[in-house]
Structure 1
């Protein structure tokens, strides 16, 4: 009798273990949002430049998306769009692969290889892996293995985009007799960042110059010239805003869209950096807000992030190509030299040439992609900057947000009007091209998955 009872208990125990081992690993869209946030926070900590940050977003999201595309016909691979890309390895269908888990592994591992503070991601990964492995050891092992296989394949492609080569190229030379040429600006007078970014391989664009904007007004300090009028507009807008103080809508707008990771603050003899999100990081945050409001599924969430990050990354390549081709001087430099030596902009001038406005190009491109995915009249509250001490701003569409982001640079005192208006057109044209090239489909809120 005792022997029979022992066999019964043993069978029940083994059955329980088998059941536990087969329990599916539950992964939600929220897990992916958290992973993207983790990489964003590390990039803020590591102070990555806006172009470099956009590259990290693109590769890490692509790694995840291409895995999802292997298992879901609703989300076709973008591999035909990428330059010099070969399809990721096919999964072993005899194994217990959880494609959501594999996608998260690929996203985090790819991001970890592209940032500095790897330990932060490793600690985060370890906490997730411990939970997943307990839920289903076999599925965890097979899924992680496949995710790492894809990462190894991606690394070959990533390492061939000319990024490493640009690390050893010469700095931007500031020595010139040309009065229109960009010069380093206060307070740190940093060298121009990423002067060779146009050499980075684009994701969807044919070339960095594909959407080169119309020329800015010809440089002239003669009263009445188009360029002089734009210069004085920057100067006079700042003076008018001073009359209403820090509470003016224009100043609030400028600060909300600052997104400058290089801000330096001086207190007496002490100078310290204020870490902020990049412009691309802000629009990735907007993508998160839209995806959560629309209740997108895990797969749909990755789809939205990937399309948006590709548009942002190519927008920086396109924008930087023109910045270091035209090498236009910033308003602050000319105003201090020729108009008013005590004038200061609302925002700290970023360390690179003026034309076109990076915010305008990137915002225009991101807004076009997001509009196509979520719709024309997508109302949302943008709380992306709350963590940096700024209030929530509300928008009735992505286009409205993009136009405000662009105009904020005029109110901030760091761009002429031409850089804003023509940069926005450049970004919108580029974004429309991305929509068509990736054959993006809408994900309307009422049809979004759970």
Structure 2
């Protein structure tokens, strides 16, 4: 496993167990994705389909513009802004490492497998809206990335800001407007469910993990930089 920049161990913020397969929460998660994340879902609205497509791409690509917005609106010095940009990327690398630690600690199966072959509402023909990545469900990497990014962007420019708009390479022609970084996190959580890729539990746990790693990075920033004269 890769060595983190600032975490003393990849397992420092390892998540607790995912919902048990016989729990009410797991059944609710599965039912939600089965209905809303299906390729030909009859209950997912056009707006929800757009949300899934908007956040389907690489999180690094999708958060490039929010980072630029935050840097532009920061009141810190040029040196302070440069350090926070570096910290942003270091925190997100550490988040990816921490995400893999939790994913492979529990190796929770993906929904496409659970729905097609599991014992709860089995549907061998079920297909998700978007292709499922080949690694465990819990936690959602998109959500961990969002949580960490939110923590750093809050520190860089505050939690709320004047309206800013974003586009997405996976949703051509769509432009969305936001006034805070947490809105991006909420949409990421919904998007992975609507894509049929993750349970809501995996998304929400991912946000918690990402925020923990992001805040850890902020507390440990002096380890990343040499003191300035």
Cα distance between partner residues in 1 of 2:171 and 2:187: 19
Pairing 1:356-435 to 2, within 5 Å after superposition: 356-386=139-169, 389-435=172-218
Change (3 A) 1:284 1:305: farther
Q: Aligned residue for 1:213?
A: 15
Change (3 A) 1:390 1:420: farther
Change (3 A) 1:345 1:379: farther
Q: Aligned residue for 2:96?
A: 316
1:316: Cα distance to partner? 0.3
| TM-score, normalised relative to structure 1 | 0.45
Q: CA RMSD in A?
A: 2.6
Specify the structure having the higher radius of gyration (Cα).
Answer: 1
Q: Aligned residue for 1:436?
A: 219
1:292: Cα distance to partner? 3.5
Pairing 1:345-360 to 2, within 5 Å after superposition: 345-360=128-143
SS of 1:383's equivalent in the other structure is strand
Among 315, 322, 326, which residue is 2:106 paired with? 326
Cα distance between partner residues in 2 of 1:311 and 1:382: 24
Change (3 A) 1:293 1:373: closer
Structure 1 residues 119-142: Cα deviation after superposition (integer angstroms, max 9, x where no partner): xxxxxxxxxxxxxxxxxxxxxxxx
Cα distance between partner residues in 1 of 2:167 and 2:73: 14
Change (3 A) 1:213 1:252: same
- Whether the 8 Å CA contact 1:378–1:397 is kept in 2: the answer is yes
Cα distance between partner residues in 2 of 1:312 and 1:295: 23
Change (3 A) 1:436 1:355: same
Change (3 A) 1:349 1:397: same
Q: Aligned residue for 1:284?
A: 64
Q: Aligned residue for 1:340?
A: 123
SS of 1:381's equivalent in the other structure is strand
Cα distance between partner residues in 2 of 1:229 and 1:360: 19
SS of 1:232's equivalent in the other structure is helix
Change (3 A) 1:251 1:207: same
Change (3 A) 1:206 1:253: same
SS of 1:415's equivalent in the other structure is coil
Cα distance between partner residues in 1 of 2:218 and 2:203: 22
1:227: Cα distance to partner? 2.2
Cα distance between partner residues in 1 of 2:192 and 2:148: 17
User: Number of paired residues?
Assistant: 220
Q: Aligned residue for 1:89?
A: none
**Structure 1 residue 234 and structure 2 residue 36: aligned?**
no
Cα distance between partner residues in 2 of 1:359 and 1:321: 15
Change (3 A) 1:387 1:299: farther
Among 54, 58, 62, which residue is 1:256 paired with? 54
SS of 2:129's equivalent in the other structure is coil
**Structure 1 residue 201 and structure 2 residue 13: aligned?**
no
Runs (5+) with no aligned partner, structure 1: 1-198, 260-277, 440-450
SS of 2:177's equivalent in the other structure is strand
Cα distance between partner residues in 2 of 1:396 and 1:208: 33
